[in-house]
Amino acid sequence: MGNVYVAGSINQDIAVRLERRPQPGETVPGESASFGLGGKGANQAIAAARSGAAVELIGAVGDDRFGEELLADLDTEDGLSTAGVHRASNTSTGVALITVDADSENAIVAVPGANAALAPADVGDVGMEDDAVVLSQFEIPQPTIRTFFEQAHAQGARTVLNPAPAETVREDLLERVDFLVVNETEALFYADGDSKGQLSQDELVETAAALRTHDEQVVVVTLGEAGVFASTPSETIELDAYAVDPVDTTGAGDAFVGAFATALGDGLRLRDALDVGAAAGALATTQTGAAPSLPTRAAIEDLRADE
């Protein structure tokens, strides 16, 4: 069993299913509403734990009812430790409003709350095994991630950054990233690309080259139904997507990243780790919600065995 450390966001998700999203000034009827644990940090930590890793989550929740309930939910996950989760005083827990339309596409509004209060000092003394994988995303402050990754490299761990939601990124952070994982939209944002629709093979190669910030960095681009692309300093890897019947894409990217990190921690070669992530991401689209849809190791192995 590999060890994965995640510094990231913890949110109260409020998910609404509807036929279509309203125009400005318009009210439309919704089909259903649900409340649950979310945040890219929590989702990826759960995804890593369910796919077989021993996981420590470092994050922050508020001193409100949402924070108390979310910590209780996290503590039910086998293999996941919340010892590094802080309760921020006089601060609300992060909230994400998720709308899912008739085409199973999602749009999200995130209010950071306590996630914005996670400081470098909160991640500066995390003890890590030298073969661990360290993971973070962009729903917490970048200086905090930078310190987290510095500590990881000092202890011999590898770093995975999922820079989502897309925002201007600090160069001193990218220099500390071993595996950069983005989706197609994020890849274009960070590479200043202007392609419309699916990226071609040549565009993927060019985009990955534009994103790479040091010679050893691996750039991974998830492509949804088109599969996954990875570029290393010496090769490119392309994998097809797994064929499933999607009902909700919420959480698919987090499922990929968490399972991918677990596979790296388990010592799998890059191609196999990408395949594990692709299987997890595909499975996450077959159920509604974020955390509820994140698959187990057994489910991932079953899907891979069926191909």
To the question of whether residue 224 is assigned a binding role by annotation, the answer is yes
Annotated binding residue 139 = yes
Q: Stretch 32-42: mean pLDDT, rounded?
A: 91
Q: How confident is the model at residue 306 (pLDDT cuts 50, 70, 90)?
A: confident
Domain that holds residue 182: 3-7+39-84+119-306
- Is 87:62 a contact under the CB 8 Å cutoff? yes
- Between CA 220 and CA 281 the distance in angstroms is 14
Q: Please count the other Cβ atoms lying within 10 Å of the Cβ belonging to residue 47.
A: 35
Tell whether 254 is covered by a domain: yes
Catalytic residues: 254
Note the pLDDT of residue 129: 87
Q: Which of 92-106, 143-157, 226-240, 249-263 has the lowest mean pLDDT?
A: 92-106
Q: Is residue 33 part of a domain?
A: no
The per-residue pLDDT for 121 is 95
40 is in an annotated binding site: yes
Which CATH number is 210's domain given? 3.40.1190.20
Query: Which pLDDT score, from 0 to 100, does residue 194 have?
Result: 63
| DSSP string computed for 29-47 | -EEEEEEEEE-HHHHHHHH
**Looking at the predicted structure, is the pLDDT value of residue 195 above 90?**
no
- If we measure between CA atoms, which residue out of 9, 10, 50, 277 comes closest to residue 141? 9
Count: domains in the chain: 1
pTM check: above 0.85? yes
Is 115 annotated in some ligand binding site? no
87: pLDDT confidence band, cut at 50, 70 and 90? Answer: very high
Q: How far apart are CA 279 and CA 292, in angstroms?
A: 16
Q: Is residue 206 part of a domain?
A: yes
Distance of CA 54 to the CA centre of its chain: 17
Higher pLDDT, 191 or 259: 259
Is residue 13 in some structural domain?
Answer: no
Please indicate, yes or no, if residue 175 is contained in any of the structural domains: yes
Is 286 part of a structural domain of the chain?
Answer: yes
Question: What per-residue confidence (pLDDT) applies to 193?
Answer: 66
Specify the pLDDT at position 197: 65
Q: What is the residue-wise DSSP string for 72-93?
A: HHHTTSTTEEEEEEEEETT-PP
> 236 phi and psi, to 5 degrees?
-120, 145
- 21 part of a folded domain: no
Residues contacting residue 86 through CB under 8 Å, at least 6 positions apart: 59, 60, 61, 114, 118, 122
Using pLDDT thresholds of 50, 70 and 90, give the confidence band for residue 196: low
The answer to whether 299 is a known ligand-binding residue is: no
Exposed / middle / buried, residue 224 (Cβ in 10 Å: 0-12, 13-18, 19+): middle
Q: Would residue 95 count as lying in a domain?
A: no
Q: What is the mean pLDDT of the chain?
A: 93
Res. 103 pLDDT band, cuts 50 70 90: confident
Q: What is the dihedral of CA 92, 123, 210, 284, to 10 degrees?
A: -60
Which residues touch 83 (CB under 8 Å, ≥6 apart)? 56
Torsion sign, CA atoms 189, 17, 75, 89: positive
pLDDT band at 118 (very low <50, low <70, confident <90, very high): very high
